[in-house]
């Protein structure tokens, strides 16, 4: 009799399918609290702007290289769909899941960041990727998420100690410093600066002392100066930014081309798809310098619209974080 009793509690295939259907369903999202409409409007606006400008700036390159003018647009839309799927899954996971995942994810990310310095292939003098069968993995991208999660979890658990530097803030700074320091060693300065900015915003929202915050900011300035002046190519980039005309055909060429594209757009731009500098004159016009093409084609109106959407997105996100 024991065996039938044990089997009676085994979930049937129908029950398993029902559980999977509930997991993949978006009904709980629709029945739950209404999403923040201004935030979604900003995201959707930036998404549409991105699709339009990716196609406009990359159609010629895609046609010449891949014989498909929609190649980069299709890839962008694919990643947008993947991101939407990730959003739905993340929204359905309970808050307790993220609390429990914060510390294991942080530990895994630290191991991955240390591993990439040893086993990562050197590309242009930097080790930032771990090669996996059929794919590549960049630990610094995961670090952006894991730092936010572990910092939020720490501040939630030790809110009352956060204004105490030694017992509250210092351990959190060590956690952030270990992760950011490993990324600097790759070497990579852009990602640590972005992560430090997000971390600073978390400290402000979490209730850290303004005196500690300002002191830390001033203390970081010499470290940033050393990081820039110690590495030759960073110093060259800085000088090229300050005076691109000093080496107009070398280090300053791309910046000058970018400025020409932005300036030639005027107030309303040349018109969508009418950029001249994207035709072999501006390198990386469909990736790092797509904003310059936006300025040339849509003018000051287009650039200010995108800037406004990003500003509104940040302010709305901060407001939601503060009220949650």
The 3-state secondary structure of 214-267, one letter per residue: HHHHHHHHHHHHHHHHHCHHHHHHHHHHHCHHHHCCCCCHHHHHHHHHHHHCCC
**Residue 179: which pLDDT band, with cuts at 50, 70 and 90?**
very high
Exposure of 196 in the CB half-sphere (CA atoms within 13 A): 20
| Chain segment 144-177, per-residue pLDDT in tens | 999 999 998 998 888 878 888 888 888 999 999 9
The predicted pLDDT at position 78 comes to 92
Q: 130 with 136: CB under 8 angstroms?
A: yes
**Residue 101: which pLDDT band, with cuts at 50, 70 and 90?**
very high
- Ranges 22-31, 32-41, 89-98: which has the least confidence: 22-31
Euclidean distance between CA atoms 193 and 227, whole angstroms:
11
Looking at the chain, the whole-number percentage of residues with pLDDT higher than 70 is: 89
**Helices and strands (H, E) in the chain, number of each type:** 13, 2
In this prediction, residues 47-60 reach a mean pLDDT of 92
Euclidean distance between CA atoms 146 and 140, whole angstroms:
10
The token pair at 52 is 């339009």
Average pLDDT of the residues of the chain: 83
The predicted pLDDT at position 279 comes to 83
The predicted pLDDT at position 5 comes to 47
The predicted pLDDT at position 295 comes to 92
In this prediction, residues 250-271 reach a mean pLDDT of 88
| Chain segment 20-34, per-residue pLDDT in tens | 555 555 555 555 556
Euclidean distance between CA atoms 231 and 186, whole angstroms:
12
- Ranges 43-47, 228-232, 305-309: which has the least confidence: 228-232
**Residue 188: which pLDDT band, with cuts at 50, 70 and 90?**
confident
The predicted pLDDT at position 146 comes to 94
Helix (H, G, I), strand (E, B) or coil at 282: coil
pLDDT at 311 over 90: yes
DSSP assignment of 89-113 equals HHHHS-HHHHHHHHHHHHHHHHHHH
DSSP assignment of 224-239 equals HHHHHHHSHHHHHHHH
The predicted pLDDT at position 115 comes to 92
Euclidean distance between CA atoms 96 and 38, whole angstroms:
27
pLDDT at 6 over 50: no
| Chain segment 267-291, per-residue pLDDT in tens | 999 998 888 888 878 888 888 889 9
The 10 Å Cβ neighbour count of residue 50 is 17
Which DSSP helix (H) or strand (E) runs through 153?
helix 139-157
**Averaging pLDDT over each range in 104-118, 201-215, 273-287, which range is the top one?**
104-118
Question: Minimal CA–CA distance to 293: which of 313, 263, 267?
Answer: 263
The predicted pLDDT at position 9 comes to 43
Identify any residues that bridge with 131 across adjacent strands, giving them in sequence order.
136
The predicted pLDDT at position 22 comes to 58
Higher pLDDT, residue 99 or 122: 99
In this prediction, residues 211-233 reach a mean pLDDT of 80
């Amino acid at each position: 009799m024991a065996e039938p009793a044990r089997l009676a509690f085994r979930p049937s295939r129908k029950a398993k399918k029902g559980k999977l259907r509930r997991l993949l369903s978006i009904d709980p999202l629709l029945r739950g609290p209404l999403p923040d409409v201004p935030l979604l409007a900003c995201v959707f606006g930036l998404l549409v702007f991105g699709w339009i400008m990716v196609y406009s700036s990359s159609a010629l390159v895609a046609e010449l290289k891949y014989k498909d003018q929609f190649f980069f647009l299709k890839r962008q839309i694919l990643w947008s769909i993947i991101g939407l799927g990730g959003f739905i899954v993340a929204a359905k996971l309970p808050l307790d899941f993220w609390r429990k995942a914060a510390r294991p994810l942080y530990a895994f990310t630290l191991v991955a960041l240390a591993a990439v310095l040893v086993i990562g292939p050197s590309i242009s003098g930097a080790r930032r990727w771990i090669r996996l069968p059929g794919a590549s993995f960049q630990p610094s991208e995961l670090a952006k998420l894991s730092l936010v999660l572990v910092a939020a979890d720490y501040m939630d658990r030790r809110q009352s100690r956060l204004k105490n530097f030694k017992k509250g803030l210092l351990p959190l700074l060590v956690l952030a410093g270990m992760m950011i320091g490993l990324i600097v060693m790759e070497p990579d300065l852009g990602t640590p600066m972005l992560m430090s900015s997000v971390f600073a915003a978390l400290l402000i929202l979490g209730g850290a002392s303004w005196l500690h915050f300002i002191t830390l900011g001033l203390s970081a300035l010499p470290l940033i100066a050393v990081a820039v002046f110690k590495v030759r190519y960073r110093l060259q980039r800085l000088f090229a930014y300050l005076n691109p005309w000093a080496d107009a055909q070398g280090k300053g060429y791309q910046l000058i081309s970018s400025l020409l594209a932005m300036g030639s757009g005027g107030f309303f731009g040349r018109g969508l798809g009418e950029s001249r500098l994207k035709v072999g004159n501006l390198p990386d016009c469909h990736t790092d310098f797509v904003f310059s093409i936006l300025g040339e084609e849509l003018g000051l109106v287009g650039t200010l619209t995108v800037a406004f959407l990003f500003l509104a997105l940040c302010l709305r996100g901060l407001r939601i974080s503060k009220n949650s």
